[in-house]
Amino acid sequence: MRLTPSVLELNLPEVQKRITRFIREYVDKAGANGLILGLSGGVDSNTIAALSSLSIGGDKVLGLLLPERETSNQKDISDALSVAEKFKLKTQTCDITPVLKSFYATIPIFDQADRLCKGNIKARTRMVFLYYYANKLNRIVCGSSDKSETMMGYFTKWGDVAADISPIMDLYKTQVRKLAENLGIPADLAKKTATPALWPNQFAETELGMKYETLDLILFGLERFMDTEEIAEQLKLDNVLVERIKNRWLSAEHKRRMLLAPKLEYRTVGTDFRLPRST
Amino acid sequence: MKERITLALAQISSQRGNKKENLRKIEELTLQAKKQAADLVIFPELCLTGYVVKDQLYELAETIPGPSTRRVEELARKTGMHVVFGMPELSEKTRATMFNTAVFVGPEGVIGKYHKMYLPTHSVFEEKRYFRPGYETAAFDTPIGKIGLCICYDLFFPEVTRLTRLAGAQLIVCISASPSVRRSYFEILTAARALENTSYLAYVNLVGVEDGLQFWGGSRLVSPTGDIVARAKYDEEDFVLCEVDFKDLKSAEAFIPTLRDLRPELFDVLKKRAEEI
């Protein structure tokens, strides 16, 4: 297999149809009143906003903007609102800054300088807001994680990845960007620089160490059981770099799985207790 | 035996774990098929329970005869219809092992059944975890024709339909639960299996979304020359009537004599090579 950008090409109308059907059926079967989603202004959540609205109608989709003082900026907010307006979603804004401050002040061992631990509080706080709304309004939390960040473990455990459904989790970031454009999201928003916004000036590609165009091809190769030497050779990369990506993918499995329990009894939750989802 | 029969391809979604509701749907559509003068109504693989039911299979599987087949037998008797549907079967003998089974019921009761021979256990599939594979192909001589059965992934192995055809089947019924990512494979295979055996092939697939797995429908009747005679919608429930004219087999075989040109001696070689993989 040749690892060229064409391997990531999709039949976008077909993908769009499958995703919207998936969302619609899930919401219907769950007997929910609609969807709750977090709107960051980034390409993933904008794409989810569009897909959700096309699936069940914008009046049944509530987008929450959850800014906080350190990382929020007017551009992200206006990007999120413009997509919400285009796809006729309702929105609400909750400034989570006071909640975060309360966490920082309450945790005895809180370390202001540890920006990762601090940033994770932000992602988990957003999750709490989303689930409050979902509980209260009988709605489903719709996640916006993509395959690139999920494979890399580039998310906060029980934070931004926490959701009831994740409609674009099987699409790499570069594929999401193309789907976004196909959905009618303006090109500048579809191509917008990705950031998890855990601290100011945090950029995904800087942290991941490469462009998504390259990362997605590496991940595509790993997904199809190609060995790292072959991937490195084809993409003209140092094998150490590809190995690093592979190790990061494998070592993040704990973030993608149900809780691990020791096998003690007949059937064990998370291992051989295999039940279908109720919806 | 009839020269022409009418099929009803009942492309349904199942409510997972809800045999009562799924039997109600089977009953409703069988009555509809009867009303529209069909001879045989075909439902998808494991439609009695839904496909992705995992460990619930242990509770849902039934013996044959059992409560569900008795109900379908009663339905067939009342309507004079023939019905094929899929269900998880609990072995009558062991009361412990299960099969992925296609059941063929006629007005006189159960005509026969087929245990899926090739159980996909890769990618999203975990059938071998639950089911014992079948060991025999199935072809039945019935008042509506010589009809064979197979199930979904069996289509990837031409020997199943070949054996079924060589046992006399003129119409091969394939019930299926094929997810959307595999649609292109089945569109090719259904045509190929009919063409290479110069037989009719009726393919009936599930629709709906089960645990994120989307079934694509697209049920169809393929002629002995590989043409699509009738096709159901993609991705949604549908009910399609179509006609099988058994006389077509003869002209197809004259045009593409795949059975006449069979080379039995190659099968010995095939067996040997397969053992050496």
Measured CA to CA, the distance from residue B250 to residue B185 in angstroms comes to 28
Note whether B28 contacts A: Cβ–Cβ < 8 A: no
Residue A258 lies in a domain: no
User: With a CB-CB cutoff of 8 Å, which residues 102-131 of chain A face chain B?
Assistant: none
What chain A residue is nearest to B215 in terms of C-alpha separation?
A: A18
Residues 153-212 on A with a CB inside 8 Å of B are none
**Which of B126, B180, B211 is the closest to A277 by Cβ?**
B211
Q: Which of A29, A165, A269 to mutate to test the interface with B (most CBs of B within 10 A)?
A: A29
Q: What is the pLDDT of residue B87?
A: 98
Contacting residues for B243 by C-beta, under 8 A, at least 6 apart: B4, B5, B6, B7, B229
pLDDT in tens, A165-186: 999 999 999 999 999 999 999 9
Q: Do B209 and A26 touch (CB under 8 A)?
A: yes
List the beta strands (DSSP E) in B116-166: 138-142, 145-151
CATH of the domain at A85: 3.40.50.620
Q: How confident is the model at residue B61 (pLDDT cuts 50, 70, 90)?
A: very high
Distances (CA, A) of A185 to A84, A146, A247: 11, 17, 34
Indicate yes or no: pTM above 0.80: yes
- The pLDDT confidence band at residue A258, using thresholds 50, 70 and 90, is confident
Looking at residue A10, what is its pLDDT?
A: 97
Residue A277: list chain B partners with CB under 8 A. 211
Partner A contacted by B243 (CB < 8 A): no
Q: Is A124 a member of any domain?
A: yes
Domain that residue A20 falls in: 5-205
Query: From CA A101, how far away is CA A96, in angstroms rounded?
Result: 9
In the A/B pair of chains, how many CB contacts fall below 8 A? Answer: 30
CATH topology of domain B4-275: Nitrilase/N-carbamoyl-D-aminoacid amidohydrolase (3.60.110)
Residue A96 covered by a domain? yes
Domain assignment present for residue A210? The answer is: no
Kindly state whether residue A183 falls inside one of the protein's structural domains. yes
**Are the Cβ atoms of A17 and B235 closer than 8 angstroms?**
yes
C-alpha B120/C-alpha B234 separation (Å) is: 23
Residue A59 lies in a domain: yes
Interface test with A, best of B122, B130, B214, B234 (most A CBs within 10 A): B214
pLDDT number for residue A277: 85
Task: Centre a 10 Å sphere on the Cβ of residue A199 and count the other Cβ atoms it contains.
Answer: 14
Question: Does residue B18 sit at the A interface (CB-CB below 8 Å)?
Answer: no
CB B6 within 8 A of CB B81: no
Two structure tokens written together for B59: 């509770």
Q: What's the pLDDT at A259?
A: 85
Could you say which DSSP state residue B229 is in?
A: E
Active site residue ranges of B: 45, 116, 152
How far does B60 lie from chain A, in Å, by closest CA? 13
pLDDT of A279 over the 80 cut: no
- What is the total count of domains within chain A? 1
By C-alpha distance, which of B158, B94, B98 is closest to B128?
A: B98
How far, in Å, are A52, A62, A81, A82 from residue A59 at the CA level?
A: 10, 8, 15, 16
Q: What pLDDT, in 10s, does the model give residues B168-182?
A: 999 999 999 999 999
Mean pLDDT over each residue of chain B, to the nearest integer: 97
Cβ–Cβ of A22/B210 closer than 8 Å?
no
pLDDT at B68: 98
Pick the residue of A55, A275, A278 with the most B CBs within 10 A to test the interface with B by mutation: A275
